[in-house]
Amino acid sequence: MTPRLTSAAIIAPVLAVLISACSTTRPTAPAAPQKADAAATPELRTVLERYVSAESAQDELDSLATWPTEDGRTWLIATAKSTHRLVVFDADTGERLREVGGEGQRLGEFDRPNGIAVYGDMLFVVERDNHRVQVMSLPDFKPLGSFGDAQLRSPYGLWLTETEPGELEVYVTDSFMYGKKFDEVPPWAELDQRVRRFRVQFDQAGHLRSSYAGSFGDTTPDAALRMVESIAGDPANDRLLIADEDRRHESTLREYSFSGKYTGRSLPQDSFGAEAEGVALWSCADGTGYWIAVDQLAPLTIFHLFDRTTLEPRGSFEGETTAHTDGVALHAASTATFPSGALFAVHDDKSVAAFDLAEVARVLSLSPTCTQ
């Protein structure tokens, strides 16, 4: 089948993915945020969740993507690492609709699914322990094929972009580690394999073809990507933001060009009190916008917003409940409950939470063009 392409307002937000922590210890929030100065670190605000779904502790939810159905609804699709399946929610209500898959190596089965992304009617799922990216059609979740099993060692996150009609470039983070506890960072020379790049095509019959296009990553001690997972891109600014979660060094998001070159820039130092986790781009109608980056804190996650172009801080907020967030998905298109779109976030590996983008914009005094 040929992919059903949605508008840019739908496709761009849902491709930003993002992804879970590699460590098992969850840091707690400091008693009071440390601020270098008022301009560099905006005041932390509160935005209440519109809902938090019922808990399902056994799933260990990780990453999120949205898909607009043909009947006008919106699905929120989550990866469940421990139960090796996908969980589908109603994005407007948080109601759990169905589960897909189960543990195994065949197409249609999963082994530790993590990163997830949507392109048209195609769903891309990273499987850490099957060392591949599996592609399925929506809404039937029919397996179409997989790629990357010859190159990927411990893949986590992905982001993709359309380079030509029917042709995609897919970036996959590969956080293979060494040591008995798999927490030893590889030698510097091997860190140029932290992001793998693939070219993917669909023919008129919907058949999948893929080719490996190499890897990249800085190999210097001060800038290397040590523990990677979340990745998202902005074609308009030739920018990839890649989260380095290793708190033994400095957890932040580093800026790369689409050619795989580290620019020397990262999000402002000391932005993250815990691990830099999920990241999503909120594009506005006038070409401006905001990067939303997760600070995986307890008792409450902090969501930091940075200017799309300059990467300067533009505000931070927390919810009333949402904590230990791994993946996020930004859906800027209108839905029944969220006329201006929504930000969806994983809560404590057990449920999903939703924030109204109109309320985020109001509380943080953001540009009105982002909610029109």
Q: Please report the pLDDT score of residue 30 as a whole number.
A: 42
**Measured between alpha carbons, how far apart are the two ends of the chain, in Å?**
33
**Sign of dihedral through CA atoms 133, 134, 139, 141?**
negative
On whether the CB atoms of residues 256 and 263 are closer than 8 A, the answer is yes
Q: How far apart are CA 366 and CA 314, in angstroms?
A: 8
Q: Please report the pLDDT score of residue 41 as a whole number.
A: 60
Report helix, strand and coil shares of the chain as percent, to nearest 5.
Answer: 5, 45, 50
Q: Please report the pLDDT score of residue 181 as a whole number.
A: 79
Q: Please report the pLDDT score of residue 353 as a whole number.
A: 98
On whether the CB atoms of residues 46 and 319 are closer than 8 A, the answer is yes
Structure tokens at 286: 């006038």
With 0-12 CB in 10 A as exposed, 13-18 as middle and 19+ as buried, what is 321?
middle
Q: How far apart are CA 188 and CA 221, in angstroms?
A: 7
Q: Please report the pLDDT score of residue 91 as a whole number.
A: 98
Local structure of 232: helix, strand or coil? strand
Structure tokens at 329: 């998905």
On whether the CB atoms of residues 276 and 294 are closer than 8 A, the answer is yes
Q: How far apart are CA 135 and CA 367, in angstroms?
A: 36
Q: How far apart are CA 42 and CA 304, in angstroms?
A: 9
Q: How far apart are CA 251 and CA 48, in angstroms?
A: 27
β partners of residue 123: 118, 136
β-sheet with 302-307: strand ranges across: 44-46, 313-318, 302-307, 289-295, 276-283
Q: What is the pLDDT of residues 255-285, one digit of tens each?
A: 999 999 999 999 986 889 999 999 999 999 9
CB atoms within 10 A of CB 277: 29
Q: Give me the domains of the chain, ranges plus CATH numbers.
A: 8-371 (2.120.10.30)
10-residue mean pLDDT profile of the chain (372 residues): values are 42 40 43 38 91 97 97 97 98 98 98 97 97 97 97 98 94 94 91 98 87 98 94 97 91 96 90 93 95 94 97 97 97 96 98 98 94 81
Q: Please report the pLDDT score of residue 19 as a whole number.
A: 36
How wide is the angle at C-alpha 355 spanned by C-alphas 338 and 332, nearest 5°? 50
Q: How far apart are CA 182 and CA 130, in angstroms?
A: 17
Q: Which residues, 6+ apart, have CB-to-CB distance to 39 below 8 Å?
A: none
Diameter over CA atoms, the chain: 57
Q: Please report how many Cα atoms fall inside a 13 Å half-sphere around the Cα of residue 36, on the Cβ side.
A: 9
- Return the amino acid letter for 143: P
CB atoms within 10 A of CB 97: 13
Q: Which residues, 6+ apart, have CB-to-CB distance to 180 below 8 Å?
A: none
**Sign of dihedral through CA atoms 57, 62, 68, 69?**
negative
Q: Find tokens 């929504």 and name the residue.
A: 342
Q: Please report the pLDDT score of residue 38 as a whole number.
A: 37
Q: Please report the pLDDT score of residue 9 as a whole number.
A: 39
β partners of residue 51: 354
Q: Please report the pLDDT score of residue 270 as a whole number.
A: 82
